Structure 1
Amino acid sequence: MTKHKIYIEAAETAKIGIWESNLETDTVYWDSITKSILEVPEDFVPVNGSGINFYTEGKNREKIRSLIQRATDCGISFIDKFQITTAKNNIKYVECICQVEVVNNKVTRLLGTFQDITKEQNLINELQLSVEKFSSVFSSANDAIIIINSASGIISDCNPRSYELTGYSSSELMGLHNSELFPMEKRKEIRVFLADQLKKDDHFVKETYIKSYDGTIIPIEVASGKKFMIDNQTFLVCFLRDISERKNSDYTLNMLSLVASETTDAILISNPDGIAVWANKSYTKLTGYSLEETVGKKPRYLLNGPETDLQTIHNINFAIENKKDLKFTILNYNKSNEKFWYESNITPVFDDRGNCIKFVCVGRDVTARIEKEIELKRILEVTSQQNNKLFNFAHIVSHNIRSHTSNLLMVLDVIETAKDTNEKLSYIEMFKEGTEKLSETIEYLNEIITIQKNTNIKKKDINLHDEIEKTKITLRLSILKSQIEINHTIPDDLTVSVIPAYLDSILLNLFTNAIKYRSRKRKSFLEIGYEVNEHYTIISFKDNGLGLNLKKNGHKIFGMYKTFHGNEDARGIGLCITKNQLEAMKGKIEVESEEGIGSVFKIYINEK
């Protein structure tokens, strides 16, 4: 086997193409490997110059043309790398070797090899890109980056940020032992730590301090990448970050946290959805819920109760949903289900981009203040009621009693001026009638004053069913005469907490009113029913009597001497006394009525 044949077989095995250009015969030869690289058919016949067009247009094509020209004219061989575009329009990288054959000082033939190096070139390109990226990051990084020779501890390279952080110049920092950057008391710790990290070959982050060129101590966070080797030397990349601002923020935050933890105000911090993430001691003490019970929940779920105001809850939810601040006072319930009044401010906290990141709720227990306000309001209401009653009494005293006394004085004057004895005696009956009416008025006033004065009489539990039956027996003649039908649905065991004498008076008055003001046009009835709620036992008295025009007379129905139907026996005092008796027992009376249809009186008996 000839050397030429051995060479061709070796080239095929190594996938190296062989090409030849005979300048004397003006012929070109490409082997199958060369054709495969150029992605042309096996039967493709190259001609002189056709190969140039496969080199990518631009510098690659110009370079190969120039090298071929030099080889042809001057007999200079070459070896170089090129980018080509194949017949199938694929980009490849090739290495082309050209040898020159000279006969009688004349170049007669160019021959060489053609090898596809696309994979190798792509790896080189990627490596160059990575180097460029690393170089860019290395130069422009906000963190100081130093590369330490692990054997000597010497800083072999660093980026510009290192000079700013340490205060050293590039010439001073390069070649400096890394321990010189740290305060004396930190050097041993850092030396041991770096040695340990080199053994582990693992990423680490540690807070420590460096000492700058001018002696300033700077808190830093030092981090490392993995070690790498060049020429059998191990190097470690370290990142140094100035955390002075963070340390100052941490200190300020710790101080604020201490203040927040120890303040007497209750402080709660929630996420943007209103879910608690932290609460101070005052908050947990006030609510009775521990920090673990509070965090992760919406406070309103824990603190709401039966008397919590729904509108205030709506306002709180609206403020959280719309990221608004809100000041409110609400009745809360602690873990032991005890009520307390809570005054609070909700304030949203926003980041630099305007996004709500949390809510801060600062509140306090204002139960004592609110209770005083409620008591003051109650006192004002009682005072207002008393003033109205005094005004009513003043009106009665000034009008009714004065009218009676004026009538009596007129009768006396007539008696004195009368000359005949029989005439004088005839006026004595008028004087007697006037004194009786005055006595009756004073008696009514005294009864109402007595009711309002005796507010501390103890109430007793009375069987309501029995009391209603007793009242029916007492009024049986009137009931029989009026032919009114009286029915009730009061259970045998229903008891009410009342002043017995007052209940007796109230029942008598409501029964007699139904009898007295019954309609003569239809058969009369009185139906007595009841209901019980959380605060009252409510007794209803429904009749089909004459009824009232409440629009016209509703404001004066419970006043003294108010009559509406012209009955001769009406005194206009019964409902006034009933109202006062119920109010003395912390109850009330209400009326529903329609003229010509009937009325429903409801008495509310306070069971507390």
Structure 2
Amino acid sequence: MKTLATDFLLKESPNAIAIVDTKLNFINYSNQWQSDFTPNKTDIIGKPLFDGISEMPILFNYAIKVGLTGKENINAGQKFILPSGKVQWLKWKISPIRNDINILEGLVIYLEDITADKRELELLQKAETVARIGGWEVDLQKNSLYWTKTTKDIHEVPEDFVTDLAQGINFYKEGFDRDKIAKLVSAAIEKGKPWDTELIIITQKGNEVWVRAIGEPEMLDNKVIRIIGTFQDIDERKKIELAHEEITERLKIATQTAHIGIWEYHIQKNELVWDDKMYNVFGVAKDQFSGVFEAWESTLHPEDKERALAATSKAISGEKDFDEEFRIILQDGSVKHIKGISKTIKDINGTAIKMTGANWDVTELKRTQLKLERNEESFIKTFDNSIIGMAMVGFDGKFIKVNKSLANSLGYSANELTELTFQDLTHPEDLAKNVSLLQKVLDHELESYQIEKRYVHKNGSLVYVVLTTTMVKDLDGNPSYMISQVQDITSKKEAEHNFKETSERLNVATRVANIGIWEYHIANNTVQCNDNMYDIYGIPKGTADLLDEWLKHILPEDVEKVTTALQRTINNHAPLNIKFRGIKPNGKIIHLVVIGEAQSGNDGKIEKIIGSNLDITALRSTELQLERNIESFTETFENAAIGMALVSPQHDWLKVNKSLSDILGYSEEDLLQSKTLDITHPDDLDKSTKVHDKAYKGEKDTYQLEKRYFHKDGHLVHVLLGVTVVKDLDGNPIHSIAQILDITDRIESEKKLQSLVEVTKSQNDSLMNFAHIVSHNLRSHSTNMTMLTKFLSQEEDKKELKNINRMISDAAESLSETITHLNDVVQVKTGALENLQSTSVLNTIEHIKKSIGGLLEEHDAIIKIDIEKSHFVNAVPAYLESIFLNILTNALKYSSLDRTPVIEIKSKLKKETVLITFKDNGQGIDLKRHGNKIFGMYKTFHKHKDAKGIGLFITKNQIEAMSGSIKIESVIDEGTTIFIELKQS
């Protein structure tokens, strides 16, 4: 009965207890043991202890081994980190079991998992430390005060510090804070009233700390016996709150000054909150804004949307804060440039819950920057790609920057030229005139000048140029440097031309202005400001009388305007909004805008003015620089030695200079009322249009080509055209800058030279061939005559002598015929060009037709003539008759025996030539077999008794002597077509 009771008590014990034998096999255990340590085992009697327990610390295993030695082992509670990483708090007691004869029979194991209690206590202690929250207790019966460790840390006292209620109150800052806590403690003691307040204490180390003190009285028999509470360090938060309150008004003024809108986006709720300025920036009425993310997204410019949304995603994910410039489209279709920044706020789990940020309108500055960038880009491209030499030159004559064209003209590299001056390269006889004109520019007698002068090339030769020099001024209107355009006219002096383009120079820079925030306190006539104000004016920080120092840094001419506006704000509560100029200690003048707002006290009187200064020097400088650059371009444009024009995408002349009018013969008014295509040669229209369209589609920013214009008097003007496309702020082409160089003289010279070269080459080739033929034919006749003469001297038979004499006679006749042919060829090759004259193709054909009328009638031939009366060619009339006669007689000589001869003669214009075609239906020629020798001397292709092989050879030489060409197409037994091309008269 006793054993049953023991087993029952063990099973129902609220503690985890197990009994094991010396082999550590279960003898018995409590239900709590099974629940806590072997929940997955139903019956563990006789099973090993550690088979049932999934994981235990090594120290517990050691304790079991100690128990098996007969010793008791107790652990009052300890934290363990198990091999799996699990954290567990355990306490145990292991007692040995002995029998009546004191022999060890097993162990009683008491094991308790106290993890839950210990973890909660540990977390509370950590939370107290992290949150800087301490506890305290006042025992009114013992008049004692207890502080926890964190409370002592906040007061900066040692851990063994002991205090009482009176001393604790004395830690509060003397004055308001100490009086208030004393009153709260008294009310708690007397009336049982709790408190929750925020006050300042002075720590034992003398530091001021904001704390939150909470007190809760405990009562017994309607009497307070003790007060317990918490004590929290809120110094950082409180100082932030106070600083926030202090800068809120300043932030308000700053956002108004810079057009800054503040917003918050609650990510989980998809709730977007804007301040009033945001609605102004985005041009949206409050009742039209839905307050969701998509409402902001819908305003984004399509080209910027993907980038802005990607930046937003990165900000939400924590990868990178939002800091972007993007464009928005307002309801009226206009575009604004916006600068946006934000911070992402996350919860304790690291999940983004809110974004807070600001947007401000930077459209005006952006437009100015883009305009300057476009002008800068246009100038650099035009400068670098100009077809004429360009240079930036200092007033000492030193080359600052040169382009490739100038380097090529003078034979030096760009780096070599920047080590030289124009004086080093100018011909000594031209130097005095050049220096004199430059001095007049420096003395402001001239804005620019143009002269012809000579440079000395690197190889020692002279380079003749037209030099156009224009002064470039800085923002203050002072001379900065010179832009020189160097048009190489050496080729003109030597009957050749080699020019390059010229264009405008716009070189500006800009920077964003800082904002200075200030407060003017009227009563004591003092000013407080942020660091930016000191930086803007160059005022030393810590200046005693900041107002006086500020006024000293306003340009004297503007002081009255500023003080008057300031007094108007004080007197009339009027907003302060003026622009003025400041001056830095180094004498630099800055441009500023000031905006301010009066602040009234409780009595309605103005106590102070809060305002801001915005440095707009960069913007103002940018505008002035742009004006200067436009002025420089205009002067360069008007004074350029080559033709220059602005041309629209539709090919309209928008603006032209005098040089272009001189080149084309039209007045400026005539050109501005027409298009470039109106005076372009028809054969150049397609080329001009294609390259023009490619440039305006963005495929290229600049291009060059040679083309032809019609002069007003009708003659052709050959030009080298250089074009640079100019784009607007959105990158769309608006017009192009065209540079037009007249190269007519060069083209005509090249054509004439080329023609002479081709004729000479042809004649040389033909004469070389002729020399080989002469050598071969005369040698053959000579050998034949020598052999026959030898036979004659040795022969005695009269009959044979007569036969030899006949052969000698035939050989002599053949030699005479050969010499006649060779003489005809020589006559063709010499003097043809000097005898060219305008000759009618139709009249020549009709003349030949009459001369061979009998032959045509004999063959019953049909001639079809389709030739215009207006077709005239440059030819030697005798050659032309010989050519036509030879072709027509050959057509009859080699006509087909199976059909009536039909000869078709046609002509048509082909650019600057006349194409004459002779087509017959005769025997034809096997061109695969004879094509490469069709025009050879003494080459025959048919078995005809009269065939000599000289006709086509002479015909080809006659045509080529007149700068023409001949080609043959033929099919055996179908006929032959001959194509003759001669220059049109």
Q: Please give the range of the TM-score, normalised by the shorter of the 2 chains.
A: 0.5 to 0.7
Whole-Å Cα distance in 1 between the matches of residues 563 and 822 of structure 2?
Answer: 102
Deviation at 1:294, TM superposition (A): 9.8
1:543 corresponds to which of 920, 945, 970: 920
Q: How does 1:384-423 map to 2 (within 5 A)?
A: 384-420=761-797, 423=800
Q: How does 1:221-300 map to 2 (within 5 A)?
A: 221-225=591-595, 228=598, 230=600, 231-232=605-606, 238-243=613-618, 246=622
Whole-Å Cα distance in 2 between the matches of residues 273 and 483 of structure 1?
Answer: 62
With over 3 angstroms needed to count, the CA separation of the structure-2 counterparts of 1:309 and 1:176, relative to structure 1, is same
Deviations 1:60-107 (CA, angstroms, capped at 9, x unpaired): xxxxxxx9xx99x9699xxxxxxxxxxxxxxxxxxxxxxxxxxxxxxx
Q: Percent identity between the aligned chains?
A: 26
Q: 1:220 aligns to what?
A: 590
Whole-Å Cα distance in 1 between the matches of residues 727 and 564 of structure 2?
Answer: 45
Whole-Å Cα distance in 2 between the matches of residues 417 and 423 of structure 1?
Answer: 11
AA matched with 2:962:
M
Q: 2:535 aligns to what?
A: 164
1:438 corresponds to which of 815, 831, 837: 815
Which ranges of structure 1 fall in alignment gaps of 5 or more residues?
1-66, 77-126
Q: How does 1:331-346 map to 2 (within 5 A)?
A: 331-333=707-709, 336=712, 338-342=716-720, 344=722
Deviations 1:344-388 (CA, angstroms, capped at 9, x unpaired): 58699999x999999988886655555555555444433331221
Q: 1:181 aligns to what?
A: 553
SS at match of 1:391: helix
- Paired residues of 1:145 and 1:238 also in contact (CA < 8 A): yes
Q: 2:933 aligns to what?
A: 556
1:479 corresponds to which of 856, 866, 870: 856
Question: Residue 516 in 1 paired to residue 893 in 2?
Answer: yes
Whole-Å Cα distance in 2 between the matches of residues 407 and 591 of structure 1?
Answer: 36
Q: 2:872 aligns to what?
A: 496
Deviations 1:160-204 (CA, angstroms, capped at 9, x unpaired): 21111222145436322654113xxx4134534774897997965
Which ranges of structure 2 fall in alignment gaps of 5 or more residues?
1-183, 194-244, 261-511
With over 3 angstroms needed to count, the CA separation of the structure-2 counterparts of 1:220 and 1:265, relative to structure 1, is farther
Deviation at 1:302, TM superposition (A): 7.8
Calculate the TM-score normalised by the size of structure 2: 0.41
Q: 2:834 aligns to what?
A: 456
Question: Residue 131 in 1 paired to residue 249 in 2?
Answer: yes
Whole-Å Cα distance in 1 between the matches of residues 252 and 682 of structure 2?
Answer: 66
1:145 corresponds to which of 516, 520, 543: 516
Deviation at 1:456, TM superposition (A): 1.3
AA matched with 2:822:
L
- Paired residues of 1:462 and 1:496 also in contact (CA < 8 A): yes
SS at match of 1:176: helix
Whole-Å Cα distance in 1 between the matches of residues 894 and 802 of structure 2?
Answer: 39
Whole-Å Cα distance in 1 between the matches of residues 817 and 648 of structure 2?
Answer: 73
AA matched with 1:581:
Q
Which 10-residue stretch deviates more, 404-413 or 171-180? 171-180
SS at match of 2:588: strand
Q: 2:149 aligns to what?
A: none
Q: 1:428 aligns to what?
A: 805
Question: Residue 191 in 1 paired to residue 560 in 2?
Answer: yes
Whole-Å Cα distance in 1 between the matches of residues 646 and 578 of structure 2?
Answer: 33
Which 10-residue stretch deviates more, 323-332 or 419-428? 323-332
Whole-Å Cα distance in 2 between the matches of residues 304 and 431 of structure 1?
Answer: 70
Deviation at 1:509, TM superposition (A): 1.2
Whole-Å Cα distance in 1 between the matches of residues 961 and 698 of structure 2?
Answer: 49
With over 3 angstroms needed to count, the CA separation of the structure-2 counterparts of 1:525 and 1:416, relative to structure 1, is same
- Paired residues of 1:524 and 1:545 also in contact (CA < 8 A): yes
Whole-Å Cα distance in 2 between the matches of residues 596 and 181 of structure 1?
Answer: 106
Whole-Å Cα distance in 2 between the matches of residues 286 and 203 of structure 1?
Answer: 55
Deviation at 1:547, TM superposition (A): 1.0
Deviations 1:388-445 (CA, angstroms, capped at 9, x unpaired): 1022111211112221222222222222222345543432222222222222222222
Deviation at 1:520, TM superposition (A): 0.9
Q: 1:592 aligns to what?
A: 969
With over 3 angstroms needed to count, the CA separation of the structure-2 counterparts of 1:361 and 1:505, relative to structure 1, is closer
Which 10-residue stretch deviates more, 262-271 or 535-544? 262-271
2:706 corresponds to which of 319, 324, 330: 330
SS at match of 1:548: coil
- Paired residues of 1:269 and 1:277 also in contact (CA < 8 A): yes
AA matched with 1:535:
E
Deviation at 1:507, TM superposition (A): 2.3
- Paired residues of 1:223 and 1:239 also in contact (CA < 8 A): yes
SS at match of 1:217: coil
Whole-Å Cα distance in 2 between the matches of residues 577 and 316 of structure 1?
Answer: 49
SS at match of 2:803: helix
Deviations 1:247-288 (CA, angstroms, capped at 9, x unpaired): 997699689859965676778899999999999987887678
With over 3 angstroms needed to count, the CA separation of the structure-2 counterparts of 1:418 and 1:331, relative to structure 1, is same
- Paired residues of 1:220 and 1:240 also in contact (CA < 8 A): yes
Whole-Å Cα distance in 1 between the matches of residues 563 and 744 of structure 2?
Answer: 61
Question: Residue 305 in 1 paired to residue 681 in 2?
Answer: yes
Deviations 1:539-585 (CA, angstroms, capped at 9, x unpaired): 32221101122233233222322211121101122222223333333
Whole-Å Cα distance in 2 between the matches of residues 255 and 249 of structure 1?
Answer: 10
- Paired residues of 1:350 and 1:358 also in contact (CA < 8 A): no
Calculate the TM-score normalised by the size of structure 1: 0.62
AA matched with 1:161:
N
AA matched with 2:615:
L
AA matched with 1:145:
G
Q: Which has the higher contact order (CA 8 A, sep 6+)?
A: 1
Whole-Å Cα distance in 1 between the matches of residues 655 and 518 of structure 2?
Answer: 43
- Paired residues of 1:274 and 1:359 also in contact (CA < 8 A): no
Whole-Å Cα distance in 2 between the matches of residues 129 and 520 of structure 1?
Answer: 116
Aligned residue pairs, count:
482
Whole-Å Cα distance in 2 between the matches of residues 267 and 603 of structure 1?
Answer: 44
AA matched with 1:550:
L
AA matched with 1:175:
L
